[in-house]
Structure 1
Amino acid sequence: MANILVVDDELGIRDLLSEILNDEGHHVDVAENASQARQARLALDYDLVLLDIWMPDTDGVSLLKEWAQAGQLSMPVIMMSGHATIDTAVEATRIGAHSFLEKPITLQKLLKAVTQALERPAAAAAASAPRAAPGSTSAITPNAAQPLQDAPAFVAAAIQSAQADEPSLPEPQQSFNLDRPLREARDDFEKAYFEYHLACEGGSMTRVAEKTGLERTHLYRKLRQLGVELGKRKASR
């Protein structure tokens, strides 16, 4: 079990991430802005922080710089954003961010990123984070001369995502064995139904919940019950 801090100004995202991570056995604290995140960080040495980039008081990259300069970046930090630029991702990487999650966050990518971050020794986060010179108040900025390939793989993935063409929607796959009990046949149909909508919506739990008319917590539990593989991307015909 890990102590995880989720920092996001959106209540729905805080609640959803908290529920998922709690279900995985972690202890989760939440903060809705940088001010609350600072207080939480001072009160506890977290094993991991999920940090939103765009927040009303102080943005996540600035808070990451602040922790790095103060020597408080002893834990891996996963940045989150729905509209961050490649430059922002590169900057967060050079400051010391472990990885980057693009919103809407799929369950599969969330759990994979959290697992990878927790497997990384805490000391590695502090060692990789740039430090400001003693007495310096200047912000840490990315070095434009540094090749992009020096950044972690998640930056390259972000570039590929930005350059990729929009694929076609998947064809629904419907092949049911009706010579079976009603409950089993219904489960097969529901599994195919949810897998289709997950593929159509790029694995977004938020959009699938809206499309199917279910609450996200109910949807999450339903998919686990049916054994649906989450985080599916759009597939071509």
Structure 2
Amino acid sequence: MARILVVDDEIGIRELLSEILYDEGHTVELAENAQQAREARQRTRPDLVLLDIWMPDTDGVSLLKEWASQSLLDMPVIMMSGHATIDTAVEATRIGAIDFLEKPITLQRLLKTVAAGLARVRLPQGTAVAAAPAPAPVAAATAQLTVPHHQQAPAASAAAYSPGLAATPAAAVAPAQADAAEPPAAANQVSGVSLDLPLREARDAFERIYFEYHLGRENHSMTRVSEKTGLERTHLYRKLKQLGIESSRKRSL
């Protein structure tokens, strides 16, 4: 899960991107202009920023320059625009943006670009690449991204051998271990949600319980539920509809 800041002056774009990224498990913060984006960046460093180029107060490229000049451009920034020229996209990349999304943005392109941005290893400004060896976690992550799976297989296979069994594969004794460690049925559930479900189904089941709880606690006041859950009301309505929570139950605003 990552914290993603979406900066766009169009409410429809903000809500659509927020809904998609939220469904992917990310935490999303929204800003409708450069000033709100500055405030969000000041509160906490996001893991990634989706930044619109054309905005009424300060355009995205100017904001990108501002962050770079203040040494605040230490997170991946992906620019977005439906009217930008090639020169604008090149300039944004030169300043420090890692990619560019042309509107209308397709779902596949959005998710692929965001995933690549989050996987990108960004060094502090002014740091030479060869100044020091990469920390072990970074090196391991980089290897995982760059080494083909068939080349990783020998290492994984070697690690699977149990040291006390004369190089007998651990997989050979897995069935007996699995039987011994089989958890009771109750251990496979959390708040009535089966942990054996696929992730998306388990998350939806939990979210139904979560929102039903807050709706009941706040007497179905959408304003208070919105405040408690941290979702904008439009996003909250969409989420309840997506989860199959009947709109007729939402009695007050």
Aligned residue type for 2:107: L
Equivalent-residue separation in structure 2 for 1:101 and 1:8 (angstroms)? 13
Equivalent-residue separation in structure 2 for 1:125 and 1:53 (angstroms)? 23
| Cross-structure match for 1:27 | 27
Secondary structure at the aligned position of 1:73 is classed as coil
Secondary structure at the aligned position of 2:123 is classed as helix
Query: Cα 1:46–1:126, aligned 2, differ >3 Å: closer, same or farther?
Result: farther
Equivalent-residue separation in structure 2 for 1:104 and 1:125 (angstroms)? 32
TM-score of the superposition, structure 1-length normalised? 0.53
Large movers: runs of 4+ above 6 Å = none
Secondary structure at the aligned position of 1:92 is classed as helix
Q: Choose 1 or 2 for highest CA Rg.
A: 2
Contact 1:51-1:80 within 8 A present in 2 as well: yes
1:64 aligns with 2:55: no
Count the aligned residue pairs. Answer: 131
Q: CA deviation at 1:127?
A: 5.8
1:113 aligns with 2:113: yes
Equivalent-residue separation in structure 1 for 2:123 and 2:103 (angstroms)? 28
The Cα RMSD (Å) is 2.0
Aligned residue type for 1:45: R
Equivalent-residue separation in structure 1 for 2:4 and 2:90 (angstroms)? 24
Equivalent-residue separation in structure 2 for 1:126 and 1:20 (angstroms)? 35
Equivalent-residue separation in structure 1 for 2:84 and 2:23 (angstroms)? 29
Q: CA deviation at 1:81?
A: 0.1
Secondary structure at the aligned position of 1:116 is classed as helix
Equivalent-residue separation in structure 1 for 2:32 and 2:88 (angstroms)? 21
The percent of aligned pairs where both chains have the same amino acid is 71
Equivalent-residue separation in structure 2 for 1:49 and 1:121 (angstroms)? 15
Q: How does 1:83-102 map to 2 (within 5 A)?
A: 83-102=83-102
Contact 1:75-1:123 within 8 A present in 2 as well: no
Contact 2:8-2:51 within 8 A present in 1 as well: yes
Query: Cα 1:112–1:67, aligned 2, differ >3 Å: closer, same or farther?
Result: same
Contact 1:75-1:126 within 8 A present in 2 as well: no
Contact 2:53-2:81 within 8 A present in 1 as well: yes
Contact 2:71-2:125 within 8 A present in 1 as well: no
Secondary structure at the aligned position of 1:79 is classed as strand
Q: CA deviation at 1:29?
A: 0.1
| Cross-structure match for 2:55 | 55
> Which one has more relative contact order, counting CA pairs under 8 Å at least 6 apart?
1
| Cross-structure match for 2:193 | none
Contact 2:7-2:34 within 8 A present in 1 as well: yes
Q: How does 1:97-176 map to 2 (within 5 A)?
A: 97-123=97-123
| Cross-structure match for 2:14 | 14
Query: Cα 1:125–1:111, aligned 2, differ >3 Å: closer, same or farther?
Result: farther
Report which of the two has the higher share of helix.
2
Equivalent-residue separation in structure 2 for 1:56 and 1:89 (angstroms)? 19
CA deviation string 1:65-90 (max 9, x = no partner): 00000000000000000010011011
CA deviation string 1:2-42 (max 9, x = no partner): 00000000000000000000000000000000000000000
Q: CA deviation at 1:121?
A: 1.6
Aligned residue type for 2:90: V
Equivalent-residue separation in structure 1 for 2:123 and 2:27 (angstroms)? 21
Aligned residue type for 1:121: V
Q: CA deviation at 1:122?
A: 3.5
Query: Cα 1:124–1:55, aligned 2, differ >3 Å: closer, same or farther?
Result: same
CA deviation string 1:109-137 (max 9, x = no partner): 00000000000123367869xxxxxxxxx
CA deviation string 1:120-157 (max 9, x = no partner): 123367869xxxxxxxxxxxxxxxxxxxxxxxxxxxxx
| Cross-structure match for 1:211 | none
Equivalent-residue separation in structure 2 for 1:125 and 1:49 (angstroms)? 17
Aligned residue type for 1:21: L
Equivalent-residue separation in structure 1 for 2:119 and 2:125 (angstroms)? 12
Which ranges of structure 1 fall in alignment gaps of 5 or more residues?
A: 129-216, 222-237
